[in-house]
Structures are given as structure tokens and as C-alpha cells.
Amino acid sequence: MRALTWHGKHDVRVDTVDDPEIINPRDAIIRVTSTAICGSDLHLYDGYIPTMKAGDILGHEFMGEVVEVGSGSTLKKGQRVVVPFTIACGSCFHCGKHQYSACDNGLPADNQDIAQTIYGHPMAGLFGYSHMTGGYAGGQAEYVRVPFSDVGPIVIPEGVDDDKVLFLSDILPTGWQAAEYAQIEPGDTVAVWGCGPVGLFSVQSAFLMGAERVIAIDHFPHRLELARRFGAETINFEDSKTYEALLEMTGGIGPDACIDAVGLEAHGFFADNVIDQIKASTFLGTDRAHSIRQAILACRKGGRVSMPAVYGGFIDKFPLGALMEKGLTLKTGQTHVQHYMPGLLNAVLEGKIDTTFLISNRLPLEQAAEGYRMFHDQQDEVTKVVLKPGMDLARAA
Amino acid sequence: MSDIRTFRGDDAPLTTAKDLEPTDATGPLGKPKGDSLVGKTVTINRPREQLYRFWRDFSNLPAFLDNVVSVEPVDEGRSRWTVKAPAGKTVEWTSTITEDRPGELIAWASEDGADVPNSGRIDFRDAPGGRGTWVTATIAYDPPGGFIGKVIAKMFQREPAIQARRDLRRFKQLMETGEIATSAWTRRQYEEEID
Ligand SMILES: NC(=O)c1ccc[n+]([C@@H]2O[C@H](COP(=O)([O-])OP(=O)(O)OC[C@H]3O[C@@H](n4cnc5c(N)ncnc54)[C@H](O)[C@@H]3O)[C@@H](O)[C@H]2O)c1
Ligand SMILES: [Zn+2]
Ligand SMILES: [Zn+2]
């Protein structure tokens, strides 16, 4: 089959690799019809995530048709499914509590040591996201082996377009969980750092959960415009001072809840960011974390900080004092996708949530490397790239 | 619980002590065969009796103990172990069950003359809060040296505590999910991985 493989920093290629096969009883093989490039994939592309190996197949946002099932799968050939990016068993203590991304059994035993060492505990497996998250082959490919197919994938009714449901695999539940973690109360003002897919779905979700106002922060005019479409007010951090603007826009109180949807590659030349970049390049610290620092400083006293953004390692100058003194609540984590999928599928089918607005580019899988380059270099216009393995090359051009 | 823990001023298991004295921790094993010790506990979301029964049938062990090729019954309480060694070789020894309390514990020791003298025990205890079972593996073995040292190194992948932890994780996966997680995506990769 053809698949997008990683070879190093800013070097991804579509190669011919072996077709996947059923290995364990609960497996299914999916023929991919749509797969997206995620902001998290850019962390791999930029070489920030350790334990990658040349030839690894990327991709954790995908859907398709079931073409083969193991004896323990509950899926049927021909069904269309969206696959959650987290690989979780459904039967451990954490899965029982719907903390799917904390599943005990999603990672091969040997791959659990790294996370056990750096995080204290191993987490769930992830598709196409380095060997410390399991080394599973990802979905930017024609076919994928999906473990635990009886508890992960959600079946999509006939006649619903891929573009409407593809984002159930990751970014829609991630934006939703981020808003839920912000514990929004009526009358609240919620600030969202980052108007990428996760931030934009956080904006939509926050309004659906009853936020009175949402203030979206980014520096890309087109992305801010998308946030405005959903009713958000905006701050362009290149034109305005974010902390000062947030306080002025909230009568000096600060936002009741702050959502950091930026993550470890925060843009911009802020003093702490520049220091982080120097440290990152000398391996003194691994994450650039301007947005989370700012979110903690701006948040009102007793408020909530929700952090869907991914951080992999250590940061310094973390405003622990502000977090403590102001009595803030911080809630974060990889998304428990399986928990949110059914409810969000209904919301999509009922037309309460629109996801298609996000897709700026649709490309054949063969042009995946180009898709990465565009998503990386032209972030303003290129909001989301969807790859279609079956898509005709000529038609795309 | 008390028999695999010796009270020394706190409630932590002896296997986590900073100055480890193997002879204390193996408790009712009697005189341990060897002087390196590892102990690891994992919580498995299944009843104690079920886990004990599965483990007590030693022919099940190679499915999740990475370096064990086979365990054949010899007679009541004795079994023949075949374990992977470097260069495609294997080493063998006979083990005797030294203690067997259904639903609670199994202890074993290699017979005299084993290439790799070793002894161990596996304890099954109810986990608090209805979370299933605490399974603790405690293994004592002779530290590496010479050819046997290489065998041991291979057997325990240099770091015995890591190997024990990985084996217990596989046991947990098999018991909780019915399968052992793998990222292989072709049969060929899978065969190479489990070989
Ligand atoms: N928790 C999860 O399970 C989960 C799932 C998916 C993605 N993520 C993470 O969420 C984050 C966002 O993902 P995405 O796909 O939307 O990424 P993205 O890269 O498309 O979007 C990030 C946005 O943040 C903006 N930004 C950069 N620096 C900023 C700053 N200092 N202040 C305000 N905005 C700033 C960028 O301009 C960009 O528009 C990433 O870290 C990603 O890894 C987490
Ligand atoms: Zn993603
Ligand atoms: Zn689980």
C-alpha cells in the first residue's frame, strides 16, 4: 500500500510499504477514505517529538471502510467508521472510568518504559505518533490495522459525508473536552489561545456550553476571522498586548476560564519564548510555553485554566505562584475521544456543530508531503488539510 | 500482605528499600537460590482466583513471559523450564513448587545443579476498593558472570526489574483484554517481534 512516512525533520514521503494484516483477535483493518494532518503532526514534522524512527507511518485522524475483522471484533465488513486517535482497551480500570487516554493496556509492554520513566506512568497508545506512544502505524495510508476495534471506532450512518464526521477522530472531541474542562458557567467570559482547529472547536463548544463571551487570540487574520464567525471577539497578539487587552475587555476581572490551544510550538517573539527557543535548541528545556504562562497570568482569581495543548517535557518559569495564589484550577490531558464520540456524532447529525468550515485543502494521499509543507508554511490560509487516498490525482490538480 | 513485607519503620515493601537485602524479602521461600532480587506489583482488574488459576497452569506462562520458551510438567509439583539464551541457544532447568496456596500464592525454586539458580513467588491479593487483584512477582537469581551471565542478561534484558515489569504488564493485558498489545502491522513483523 501507499503511506506517508517520516524520515526526519521536514522530511516526509509517500512510500510503498507492506499492507497491514489482522494480528490480534480484536483487530480490524480499515481502508482509509479520509485522513487529516493535525497540529500535533507538525510537532513531529518539526522534530520536537523523541522516539521517532525513519519509515514510521504518520496520521491519527482517519476514517474509512471496514475491510477485514478479527474474531473478537464487533465491526462488520463494509461498515464506515471513524477511528479515535487514542488506542484504548475498554476493560481496564481507567477505561471503566472513561479515562480512555489513560488506558493501561493500549501500549505494547516494551513501549511503556519511556513514559513510565518521564511521566511516572504509561499512557494509552496513539496512532502514528512515535514509539513512546506505541509505535503504531498511522492513518495517513491506504489501510490501517486498528486494535481494540470493538471499543474504539464509531459506525457512521449511510449517506453522511466524510468531511462532516472525520474530525470526531480527534480535534472536535479535543475542543469539546477543552471547553468542558473550563467548567463554563452562565455569564462567563472564556479566552482561547490559538485559533487552529482545536482552538476553533473550543470556541464553538464554549458557546454551546453557555459562555456569554469568547475571546479568541491568534496572529493569523484568517484564523481570527473564522473565530469571529462563531461569535468570538478577537485579539491579534501582534497588534495588541494580550494580557492588557484581556483585562480591559473584562473590566479588569480577567477571563473566567482560559483555554490554551497552542502548545509546545508557540509562535511570537516574547522574551520568555526566545529563552525557551534557545534552551530547546540546546536541550536545556524542551517546550516553548508562552501561551500557558499568559493564560495563568490573565485568568481571573479562582478561575479555571484548561490546557488541551500538547506539552511533552519540562518548562521552566512556570508561574506556579500565580496558579497557587489565585486559587486556579488547571485541567489538561490527551482527549478521552471514545467518551465524547457518540454525543458529538449526534450533535453533528442534528446540525448543532459544523465541522466542514475548517477544511481548507483536500488532496490525494500522494500529495501528502505537499500538504505538510503547506500546513506548516501557510498557517493562516491553510487551516486543515484532508488527504483522500482514493482521490484522483488529475482531479486534484 | 505481611509476609512479603518486613516492617522496618515504614509501610513500603522491602523490594523498594534503598539498601536491599534479598534474604529478608523472599520470606517463606526459605533460603533463596541467588542473591539478586526483583519485586514488582501490578493491579489487574480481574478476580484473584481467575489469575491464580491461569498462572498455576505453567504451560500458560510462555504466552507472556518474554524469554520463556516452554514449561513442561515433569510430575506433581515439578516442571522443566526452557529459556532463551544468546545465539539462538536455550538453557533448561527443573523447578519445584515450594509453596502453593490456591488463590493466594505460588512459590518455586530451581533444583540443585541448575545453570541459572533461581527462585520466585507470585502473590495474589485483593486490591482495595474493588479494583481487582494486586499481583506481586518476587524473583531471586544469581547475578551475571561468564556464559551464564550472558544468559541472565538476555533473560532479564540487562535490567531484571524492567523485564519483570514488562512481563507483568503482558500478563495484565492478556487477563484484562484477552490479547497482548503489539504495534506490528504484518504477520511477519509480529513473528520477528515475539521470536
Ligand atoms: N489534548 C489532545 O488530545 C490534543 C489533540 C489534538 C491536538 N492537540 C494539541 O492542541 C494544540 C493545537 O492544535 P491545532 O491542530 O489547533 O494546532 P495549530 O498549529 O493548527 O494551531 C495553533 C494556533 O496557535 C496560534 N498561536 C501560536 N502562538 C500563539 C500565542 N502565543 N498566542 C496565541 N495563539 C498562538 C498559531 O498561530 C495557530 O493558529 C497543539 O499543541 C496540538 O498538539 C491536543
Ligand atoms: Zn490530532
Ligand atoms: Zn483500558
Per run of 10 residues, the mean pLDDT along chain B (length 195 residues) is 52 71 45 60 97 96 92 93 80 93 95 82 96 91 55 56 86 98 96 85
Once rounded to an integer, what is the mean pLDDT over residues A170-184?
98
pLDDT at B72: 94
- Higher-confidence residue: A366 or A48? A366
Cβ-defined contacts of A276-279 (< 8 Å, 24+): A276/A315, A279/A316
Minimum mean pLDDT range among A70-84, A161-175, A185-199, B157-171: B157-171
Residues A278 and A346 in one domain: no
Identify the domain boundary among A289, A312, A332: A332
DSSP secondary structure code for residue A89 in this structure: -
Residue B107 buriedness (CB in 10 A; 0-12 / 13-18 / 19+): buried
Contact between B162 and A113 using a beta-carbon 8 Å cutoff: yes
- CA A102/CA A199 separation, integer angstroms: 23
Q: Is B9 on the interface with A (CB under 8 A)?
A: no
Q: Kindly indicate the confidence band of residue A214, based on its pLDDT and cuts at 50, 70 and 90.
A: very high
B177 contacts chain A (CB < 8 A): yes
Q: Is B2 on the interface with A (CB under 8 A)?
A: no
Q: Where are the alpha helices (DSSP H) in B26-88?
A: 48-56
Q: In chain B, what are the domain boundaries?
A: 14-194
- What is the model's pLDDT at position B48? 97
Task: Please tell me the predicted confidence (pLDDT) of residue A30.
Answer: 98
Q: Is the pLDDT of residue A364 over 60?
A: yes
**Residues of chain B neighbouring A72 (CB-CB closer than 8 A):** 178-179
pLDDT, tens only, A256-277: 999 999 987 655 545 555 556 6
Would you call B167 an interface residue with chain A, using a CB distance cutoff of 8 Å?
A: yes
Question: Which atom of ligand 1 is found nearest the CA of A86?
Answer: 3
Cβ contact (<8 Å) for B162 and A125?
no
Cβ-Cβ contacts under 8 Å, B190 against chain A: 23
Compare A227 and B29 and report the one with higher pLDDT.
A227
pLDDT mean over A59-85: 98
Q: Model confidence over A6-31: pLDDT tens digits?
A: 999 999 999 999 999 999 999 999 99
| pLDDT for the residue B35 | 52
Angle of the B160-177 helix axis to the B48-56 helix axis, nearest 10: 110
ipTM given for this complex: 0.90
Domain count along chain A: 2
Q: Which three cell numbers stand for residue A74?
A: 464487533
A88 and A221 fall within a common domain: no
**B129, B142 contact by CB (below 8 A):** no
Neighbouring-strand partners of residue A141: A3
Other Cβ atoms within 10 Å of B93 Cβ, number: 17
Q: Kindly identify which residue of chain B lies nearest to residue A124, measuring between CA atoms.
A: B181
Are residues A109 and B180, on separate chains, in Cβ contact within 8 Å?
yes
Segment A292-312, tens digit of pLDDT: 999 999 999 999 999 999 876
CATH number for the domain spanning A160: value is: 3.90.180.10
Name the pLDDT band for A136 (thresholds 50, 70, 90).
very high
Last residue of a domain, one of A332, A353, A368: A332
Query: Angle between the A290-298 and A242-249 helix axes, to the nearest 10 degrees?
Result: 30
Query: Does position A284 have pLDDT exceeding 50, yes or no?
Result: no
Q: Which ligand is nearest to the CA of A197?
A: 1
Contacts of A394 (CB under 8 A, 6+ apart): none
Chain A: give the shortest CA distance to residue B142, in Å.
Answer: 24
Which CATH number does the domain housing residue A276 bear? 3.40.50.720
- Pocket probe for ligand 1: among A215, A218, A220, the residue whose CB has the most ligand atoms within 8 Å is A218
Note the pLDDT of residue B136: 94
Q: Determine the pLDDT at residue A115.
A: 85
Inter-chain contact B176–A91, Cβ cutoff 8 Å?
Answer: yes
Give the whole-number percent of chain A exceeding pLDDT 90: 84
Average pLDDT, integer, range A313-322: 83
Q: Which fold has domain B14-194?
A: Alpha-D-Glucose-1,6-Bisphosphate; Chain A, domain 4 (3.30.530)
Domain match, A307 and A368 both: no
Instruction: Show the ligand 1 pocket: residues with CB < 6 angstroms.
Output: A 38-40, 42-43, 170-171, 174, 193-199, 217-220, 223, 237, 261-263, 266-268, 290-291, 308-310, 334-335, 379
Supply the range of the domain harboring residue A207.
175-332
Residue A200 alpha carbon, nearest atom of ligand 1:
16
Which residues from A are below 8 Å from B43, CB to CB?
A: 93
User: ∠ at Cα A121 (A170, B51), nearest 5°?
Assistant: 105
> Is residue B65 within 8 angstroms of chain A, CB to CB?
no
Q: Say if residue A143 is in the same domain as residue A180.
A: no
Boundary (domain end) residue, out of A313, A332, A351 = A332
Window 67-96 of B: residues touching A by CB (8 A cutoff) are none
Q: Do A24 and B180 touch (CB under 8 A)?
A: yes
Most A CBs within 10 Å, among B166, B179, B190, to test the A interface: B179
Question: What are the φ/ψ torsions at residue B22 (nearest 5 degrees)?
Answer: -55, -40
Rounded Cα distance between B107 and A55, Å, is 45
Residue ID of nearest Cα to ligand 1 atom 43: A40
- Identify which of A14, A181, A160, A153 has the alpha carbon closest to the alpha carbon of residue A85: A153
Q: Domain check: are A236 and A381 in the same one?
A: no
Predicted pLDDT of residue A8: 96
Q: Are residues A328 and A339 in the same domain?
A: no
